[in-house]
Amino acid sequence: MTYNTSIVKKGVDAKFHKAYKLMQEQPYLLALASLFMKAPSTGASEEYVWLGDVPGVREWIGNKVFKGLKDYDYTIKNKDWYNGFSIDRNELADEKIQGIMPRVEMLAQSLAKFPAELIIDLITGGDSGLAYDGLPFFSNASGVRTNDNLLAGSGVTSDNIKANITSARTAMMKFTSDSGRVMGLLMDTIVCPPELEATFLELTTSVVGEATARPAANWIKNVIVCPELTDTGDWYGFAAGSAIKPFIYQERTGVKTEIDDSEVKKNRKINYSAEARGNAGYGFPQMAIKVVNS
């Protein structure tokens, strides 16, 4: 049996896009997506000078006074990303197309997860990864950084974490912008390792008829458990409810698929791949807190 590459691609693409959409709708990925804003890109890189803060509202007395953005140079460079697999021509000749579909689904899932994986890398690397002000994203107050978003925890018992949620949320509410204005940010999302999942769910899930009030159940909207977190006592708090987010996912080119049979006569292989172009970077450190217990 002969095969038509365009027909094969059409059929495989339909499966790919269906699996891609279903994966994007998974609660875990939706929760992580709440931590980043999707920014379009039109070139090899983008500058985010506006991260230096726009001044707040002031009383209009006399002539209006306009302040320019602060001289920060924060740039996110786009990168090319891909994943794919080879199909043996004989699979098509023998009408084994259904055997290919599980690989197509796995490919789609890997591309759908990719933005979230970049964000997780930023979280885990936040002690050294630099924010727009030139300091690590998670840092004690120093120099231009007036907000301390690297806090020492008191332990990992239920009582310890309950107290630390309160202190972290209070600290974030008092964080100021670069112009000294209190931002009033509300910590509503927790990212924790699997070892702390049960404790955080206990503290952030309300129980009908419970006698003891649990403030965290009203404050925290999402608890995201990330197995990539290797420091088992550390956890993170984020303000994810605003239009501006703690992280940026910069998209130059969305996901697209490609089929290549240029070498099929040499090795019987037809390559099917999916690719994207973009990158991720840090947004406002005021919207994030790391609590260290290790």
**pLDDT tens, residue by residue, 24-38:** 999 999 999 999 999
**pLDDT tens, residue by residue, 242-253:** 888 999 999 999
In this prediction, residues 58-77 reach a mean pLDDT of: 61
In this prediction, residues 54-72 reach a mean pLDDT of: 52
- Residue whose token pair is 């209190």: 182
C-alpha dihedral sign at 109, 112, 116, 118 = positive
Mean pLDDT rounded to a whole number for the chain = 89
Q: Which of 185, 160, 193, 203 is nearest to 288 (CA)?
A: 185
- Residue whose token pair is 């998209």: 251
Whole-model pTM? 0.88
pLDDT at residue 116 is higher than 60? yes
pLDDT at residue 8 is higher than 70? yes
- Tell me, which fold does domain 5-53+71-292 have in CATH? phage-related protein like fold (3.90.1690)
pLDDT at residue 64 is higher than 50? no
- Does 69 or 194 have the greater pLDDT score? 194
Distances (CA, A) of 84 to 55, 117, 149, 260: 47, 18, 40, 11
Q: What are phi and psi of 259, to 5 degrees?
A: -125, 135
Ordered by start, the domain boundaries in the chain are: 5-53+71-292
Q: Which range, of 82-86, 262-266, 284-288, averages the lowest pLDDT? A: 262-266
